[in-house]
Structure formats: C-alpha cells, structure tokens
Structure 1
Amino acid sequence: MRKLVKPTLLLLAVLLLAMTAACGKSSKSDELTTVKFSEVIRSIFYAPHYVAMSQGFFKEQGLNVDMNTAQGSDKGAAALIAGTADISMVGPETTIYIYNQKGDKTLKVFHQLTAKDGSFLLSREKLDNFTWSDLSGKTVIGWRPGSSPQMVLNSLLLKEQVTDANVITNIASPAMAGAFTSGQGDFIQVFEPVASTLVNAGKAYYVASLGEDFGAYPETSYVATSDYIQSHADIIKKFTAAVAEGAKWLNAASDEEIVAALKPFFDGTTDELILQSVNRYKAQDTWPTDPVLTQEQFDILQNVLVENGVLKAEEKVTKMDDVVDMSFAKQLGKSD
C-alpha cells in the first residue's frame, strides 16, 4: 500500500500544480489594459462611446476605460500633453492649435465620432416660424470662445447677417442651464439631454438645431499624442473598434435597449428624455457609419477656424496627415 500511496500523492500534486498554472494563465489573459480617457463634456451627443462601455465592447477588446469629464476641449487637450490622459474626446481643432505651437508634442485625430454640431437653440418665449434674424438684439447664453459650438453659432450668425446678437461666452458649461432658468438670456445653446430637460420642464422652447442648419462639421474626435499612437498602436486599434461597434449597436438596438445602455451615465434623466435625445441626434445623422475624417471635412473645419478669427489663413495645416491618422479607422471591417 505504501508503494501505491506515494505515486498517488505525486500524481495529485502534479495535477494540482497543472491546475494552478492553468488558472494563472487564464487570470493573466483576462487582465484588462487601462486607458486613461477624458471626455469633453457629458452628453448624449457621445452616445456611441457610452454604449461601448455599457455593452462591454471595450472589455471585449481587452480595455478598461477609466473615464473623467474635462469640461472643455482645451482641458482635454491639456490632459494629453500633461500625460494625465491617454486618449481624449475633443474638438479636432485642438490638434491644429497644438501643432501651430510647435511644442515638443503634437496631437492627432484617429477616429471621427460626430459629423454635425450637437447643440440646439432654445428660447425663453415661444416663437412661431423662427428665423435666425430673431436673435437680432437678443442675448444668447453660448459656449466658451474658440469652442466648436461657439464657432458654429458665430458662423451661422455671419451667414444670416445677424451682427447685433449678444452671445455670452463666459459661463462655465455646467452652469449654463442654471443661469438661463434663473432669468439670464433670451436664448440658450445647449446639448442633449439638457435641451430636452429644459423643454420638457417648461423652462424653454425648442427653436433650432445648429447641426441641421449649419450642415456637415467634424465637431468631436478621439485624439491622442503622436507618441502615444505610435507606441500603443494596438490600443488605438482596439479602442477604435470598440467605439465603432457602439455606433453600429446604437443604430440597430430597440428603444428599451438604448435606454438601459445609456441610463448609468445620465443619472436622474428619465427614460423618455434619453430616448428623445438619441432620436433627435439620429434624425440629423450625427453619428457617421464610417468614422474617417475626410479632407473635405478637414477643410470645412479650418475654414470655420479662420472665419472665427482663431486661426490665420497662413496658419492652416496644409498636410492633414500632420494632425490626423485615419489608418485605424480605415482598417475597420477589413480582415487582418
């Protein structure tokens, strides 16, 4: 019996070690790579990103997205330069600003998330048959100077030859709705779900979509430093794939599924408002099925920057590839 016990114990020990090793390998393979991510503001305008998080598309790619809200593209770009963020969701104009500073680091757009401006104009008083000339002599609570929504509004006013609207640009984005409901301004320019929240609460009236009235505009992009893209190409590829999957899912999901996916990111917002916001963005073709920033879109962007006086004509980036890397977006759907 003693001769049988020792081999049996030895066999058990070997099996135990093998199982431990296998568990160790499984645990190691299940580890996620953390990506420090900065979003510009919290808005349903960026729904594909939140879907990618809630539906596990990032995790399927082996990524853990550690998200914070910067409250401005300038702050999101600064986080990239400082190294406190790996990837930021910001306006693509930030890459041009940083490039022209000729500093040690440059930024590049690698995924185009939105194809229109995402803000809406609301009025304090009910207006029938709104035209942009109705802003003449009125006060509008708007966005900070140089931000995409501010420039889109200004370009629209220039196009409509409205020269005497008073646009307030020094109220922080989280405080804009509160300033309006407390009596400041005749109009306010806000994103969803804030727009629908104010309208449904009887605090404002919907009058116009800046995305529809202005037209094509590459407002929001995923951006990283050139160094990070080069040294973490695998992460950029996986990140791009996850967000693209989020956009695809959003276009096919039921109303109930969409609400459930977005609810964790908009605590206190009703199901009705979430769905209303998503449908409003869908109606204006906000989320492109192909997340590639084109030369035409890039030209529109730079023309708007020049028109708004934040970029001199001679400072235009002549070679888009200096601030844009669409190689990852172009590979979506292609076999390796």
Structure 2
Amino acid sequence: MNKLGCLLLSTVLLTITAGCGTASVTETSAKPAAEAKMEVKTEVKKSEEIKTVKFSEVIRSIFYAPHYIAMQKGFFKEEGLNVDMNTAQGSDKGAAALIAGVADISLVGPETAIYIYNQKGDKTLKIFHQLTIKDGSFLLSRTKLNGFKWSDLEGKSVVGWRPGSAPQMVLNSKLQQEKVKAEVITNIASPAMAGAFTSGKGDFIQVFEPIASTLEKEGKAFYAAAVGQAFGPFPETSYVATSDYIKKNPETIQKFVNAVAKGTKWLNTASPDEIAEALMPFFEGTPKDIIIQSIDRYKKQDTWSAVPELTAEQFETLQKMLIENDVLKPEQKLTDMGVVVDMSFVKNIGKAGK
C-alpha cells in the first residue's frame, strides 16, 4: 500500500471513531459561512415525501457553484431531496466519510475512487457525475509581475495543497512540463493556507475562488495565472458514492444528478447579479463583486461541462497524472474504468420520468 493509501485508511479509521460529530470549516479567507453544515430550505408540497441525503463537499469554493445553485434555487427540493451538507476539508476525508457511512454522497477528486479500489477493501466507490473539467486553482504572487511566465517560479516557493490532492498534482505536472523547479509547500492545512501566505510564507500561493479574488482585493497578492487554464482539461472534482449506496438508491442518485444539472443550466443563463445573490448565503461576508469576479473566471476557463460525463479520455488523463506523480503504480492502473465509474445517471438526464 502506498503512503497515500495508508493516509486514507487512517482517515477512515479516524472518521469512524469521530462519527457524525466531526467538525468542519469552510475554506475562505473572508468571513466563513455561518455554519459548515448547511441546509437551504425552500417551499415544497406538504404531501411530497422528501428524502434527506447526507452530503460532504471537499472544500467550500465557488468552483462548485452549480451545487450551491441547485440548493439555493430549490432544484434538489423539486426532485424530492433535502441536502444536509458538511465541508470535509479534503478528498481523503470526504471518501472516509463515505466508507464510514456518515455521508451518502461526497464531492471529491475522482482519484479517491481509484485509491479505494486498489486497497481491495470491503467497500468501493463509484463516480457518477463529473462536476468540473478543469483545475479550479489560481496562482498568485507576493509581488506584482509584468507578464507572468512559468519560469518566474524557478527557485521560488509556493504555498500549495497536500500531497496527492488534485490541485497539487496538476501544479506539479505543469511545473514538470515547463521544466521549472520550485519548492511547493504541501504541509499547511487548506483553511490555513491564506493566513500562512499573508504572514510571509511563500513567494506564491495556489488557491481557489473566492480566496484568490479576496487576497487580490485586499492588496495581499497579485494574480499570476489560472492553473486550470494553463494545464488544460482535467477531471478534477466528481460526485461519488459507495457502490452499495448506488445499488440500493438508484432513484436518489438520479434525482441528485438531475438537480445539479439544473443548477449548471441555470448558472449558464442567469445574470452575474442573479448568480451572486444565489451564492452569497454560502459565502457569508464575501462581497458581491468578489463572487461575480470568481464566477467570471471559472466561466472563462469552461469549468462546468453541459454534459457532466467522465469520459474514457478524461479517465486516462487522470490515471496518467497519478502515475506521473508517483501516487499510483503503473501496475495499479485500471484497465476497466467501469469498476469505479457509472455514468448511466448522467446519460438519463432530461429523459422522460428522469
């Protein structure tokens, strides 16, 4: 078992011990959401039966806007679902919550399903909806640069993400492509990254929105590059559940997928003001202009696909990166993506009765 596998297994055991009492914190350098556990209520018919889904998001970021839109605009309620949401602060923790049974569905990096499968445990995870198709992080510098070049990172330090996480691997692969050697600091917990940077740690920082725009507005950092746009297509974040849960609750999974698809569709047609108003309850204290700028950046890099399918080509890109970053051995590469992927629900979006 590789180091990441051991770390994930340890997290599973800790989660089982902690149970439903695990605390969570939203990832934002502005005032965090009032509660990491959030339920957005909308009016529904009293006669309609509502099913609660325990949901774990990897971090709190505008990168996952379609999900928050689906909650705020009542699309989950329309499907007969109530989403009970917690923030895990890491794909490893989100996967552990599924294995421990304290979450029904998690939004995590799809690589976690591969890690769990290769551990040959009692439970496996399946990816059933691909939410994002680009990395969602942005590279900011401590000093203003005139026309950023990747060579500007040579010999510099970057406050980055934990080893084996999707943003860390994307950045590492990009540095390899550019033949640039930089020190990437990977031992700072995600909620503490912005604070560490503003306290003087690192020459650059790799963060998601709305943190990136917030640091810029506060004059504490300067925009350098969109890592996802520079790297290209990559299946960074997926909805995942255990194979057992999907088998026992196919209608719930289909309704969940339908609701998120509605959120994505609404996001692609609504005005910037409408989108910001819908997202503000999830980012308490974050100004509207920051939310609008964040959404604009993610839209410009085509973050959310109209067809949220994890394709064979994307799965190949994912596994290639895992091998390049030494978190997956070549002999562990999955030849049949079907053992960890089920796109049947995505293919049923919009069909009669679905």
Answer yes or no: same fold by TM over 0.5. yes
Alignment pair present for 1:178 and 2:167: no
Give 1:255 deviation, angstroms: 1.8
Alignment pair present for 1:29 and 2:51: no
What does 1:1-336 correspond to in 2, within 5 Å? Answer: 29-163=47-181, 165-336=182-353
> Structure 2: which amino acid aligns with 1:329?
V
* Percent sequence identity over aligned pairs: 71
> Structure 1: which amino acid aligns with 2:317?
I
Q: Deviations over 1:103-160 (max 9, x none)?
A: 0000000000000000000000011121111111111000000000000000000000
Structure 2 CA distance for aligned equivalents of residues 245 and 217 of structure 1: 23
Structure 2 CA distance for aligned equivalents of residues 325 and 313 of structure 1: 23
Q: Deviations over 1:67-103 (max 9, x none)?
A: 0000000000000000000000000000000000000
Structure 2 CA distance for aligned equivalents of residues 334 and 157 of structure 1: 43
The aligned length equals: 310
Normalized per residue, the structure richer in helix is 1
Give 1:333 deviation, angstroms: 1.8
Structure 2 CA distance for aligned equivalents of residues 27 and 137 of structure 1: 60
Structure 2 CA distance for aligned equivalents of residues 260 and 310 of structure 1: 40
Q: Deviations over 1:263-303 (max 9, x none)?
A: 00000100000000001000000000000100000000000
Structure 1 CA distance for aligned equivalents of residues 262 and 108 of structure 2: 20
Give 1:27 deviation, angstroms: 7.3
SS at match of 2:268: helix
Structure 1 CA distance for aligned equivalents of residues 148 and 276 of structure 2: 31
SS at match of 1:175: helix
> Structure 2: which amino acid aligns with 1:211?
G
Q: Deviations over 1:235-281 (max 9, x none)?
A: 00000000000000000011221111000000010000000000100
Structure 2 CA distance for aligned equivalents of residues 199 and 325 of structure 1: 40
Larger radius of gyration: 1
Structure 2: 5+ residue stretches without partners: 1-43
Alpha-carbon RMSD across the aligned residues, in angstroms, is 1.0
Structure 1: 5+ residue stretches without partners: 1-25
Q: Deviations over 1:13-37 (max 9, x none)?
A: xxxxxxxxxxxxx976323100000
SS at match of 2:187: coil
SS at match of 1:246: helix
TM-score normalised to the size of structure 1?
A: 0.91
Moved segments of 4+, more than 2 Å: 26-31
> 49-58 or 29-38, which moves further after superposition?
29-38
Q: Deviations over 1:199-253 (max 9, x none)?
A: 1110000000011110000000000000000000000000000000000000001
> Structure 2: which amino acid aligns with 1:173?
S
> Structure 1: which amino acid aligns with 2:172?
N
